[in-house]
Amino acid sequence: MLYRAINGDSSSAGVERREDPGPPPHAPHQPPPPRYEGPPTPCPARVEYATPVFARNYQGVWRYVVQIPYEGYFTQTVEVTRCMQSRCHYLDGGCLSSPRWVSLLVAELHYPGAAATPAPAPQPADFQWRSCTTPAPPPRPRPRRTAPQPADFQDYQQYLQKRAGQPSDATSTEKPAHCDGHDELGCYQVRLYYDWFLVPGSCKCWRPDYFARYVRRRHSTTEL
């Protein structure tokens, strides 16, 4: 078509030049789309990592968590989730961490010579531990002379024989117990086993009635 126009072809006379007309002079101004600035979740949370030394198990009993960062490099790290706010975004409710189960290797002292002696938690001086957090160590309980549990058949049988005043034949023939060490209470053995703990898990939005009931119950137990 351009070749014909240069050569003076009459058929190219009807060709018009097209240009972009552009926006109309009085076009209404459209506001930009709304920009989202809120959190991507109703309950934002913060994740922390701790290496506990003393911790309460699911029964509320203090346990000594095994942490050996130098001898063998055996450490146990727990992921703890904390809610950053108490109210939920976009929803009517409150933010609360959902607990989850964690299994940790713990250590305790057992005294084979003293029947029904509660195993106290080992002190930090007995082993070399290290922790990211420094919780207050629980008080070391004193041994109490109470009846042993029936599940411990040997100790329970010796306890009944002592109460009845009968001589124990097993004490004269049995071999001396193995001792891992001695302290003011006598011979002790170090026992290692896995125990269960509850730690704060994912942060979720709970209904207002459940959240209010939980907070009210927690405050009442704290006051007691």
- pLDDT tens digits, one per residue of 85-114: 889 988 888 898 888 999 999 999 888 876
Q: Where does the pLDDT of residue 3 fall: very low under 50, low under 70, confident under 90, or very high at 90 and above?
A: low
Yes or no: say if 118 and 108 are a contact pair by the CB < 8 Å rule.
no
Check whether 147 has a pLDDT greater than 60: no
> Minimum mean pLDDT among 69-78, 111-120, 186-195: which range?
111-120
pLDDT at site 184: 84
Q: Where does the pLDDT of residue 169 fall: very low under 50, low under 70, confident under 90, or very high at 90 and above?
A: low
Report the length, in residues, of the chain: 224
Residue 36: strand, helix, or coil: coil
Yes or no: say if 196 and 101 are a contact pair by the CB < 8 Å rule.
yes
Count Cβ atoms below 10 Å from residue 64 Cβ, excluding itself: 24
Check whether 196 has a pLDDT greater than 80: yes
Residue with tokens 């005043």: 165
pLDDT at site 92: 86
Mean pLDDT of the chain: 71
pLDDT at site 90: 84
pLDDT at site 197: 94
Residue 74's nearest CA partner among 114, 118, 104, 37 is: 104
Check whether 125 has a pLDDT greater than 70: no
Yes or no: say if 17 and 10 are a contact pair by the CB < 8 Å rule.
no
**Model-wide pTM > 0.85:** no
Q: Where does the pLDDT of residue 151 fall: very low under 50, low under 70, confident under 90, or very high at 90 and above?
A: low
Residue predicted with more confidence, 137 or 56 = 56
Per the structure block, which two tokens stand in for 200? 């704060």
Report d(CA 84, CA 96) in Å as an integer: 10
Report d(CA 172, CA 3) in Å as an integer: 124
pLDDT in tens, 31-84: 776 655 666 788 999 999 999 999 999 889 999 999 988 876 889 999 999 999
Domains observed in the chain? 39-140+148-156+180-224 (2.10.90)
Residue 118: strand, helix, or coil: coil
Q: Where does the pLDDT of residue 131 fall: very low under 50, low under 70, confident under 90, or very high at 90 and above?
A: very low
Average pLDDT over residues 206-217: 72
pLDDT at site 210: 75
